Amino acid sequence: MAEVRKTSSFEKMLLIVGLLVLIIGYMLISKTCAVTGNQLSWGFLQTTFLWLLMVVFIILLAIGEDIKEGILIAQLEEIRSLKDALLKGKKK
């Protein structure tokens, strides 16, 4: 059975920041749209594009953190097995 990994405090903070970016960004975009009278303007395009960039950046950061944690766990297991093998060889 696969071992379940606990979430780190960084991942929890990243989740909170990501949700805040989604909610506040959506509110700002809807305000910009309301101010311009539901017409496509340069400010609306800039706001939407920058918001989408932040969302993509947060997603990539979360994926990178998950990959890093997986690599660290695999390396730790490998180091433990090497240590055990060395200790068994030393006892003989």
Q: What is the pLDDT of residues 48-87, one digit of tens each?
A: 898 999 999 999 998 898 888 888 888 888 999 999 988 8
Question: Shortest CA distance to 58 belongs to which of 20, 86, 31, 24?
Answer: 20
- Look over the chain and give the mean of its residue pLDDT values, rounded to a whole number: 85
State residue 2's pLDDT score.
62
For 26, 49, 68, the CA distances from 46, given in Å and listed in that order, are 13, 5, 33
Query: Which residue's entry shows tokens 């297991």?
Result: 77
Query: Which residue's entry shows tokens 């990959």?
Result: 67
**What is the pTM (predicted TM-score) of this model?**
0.72
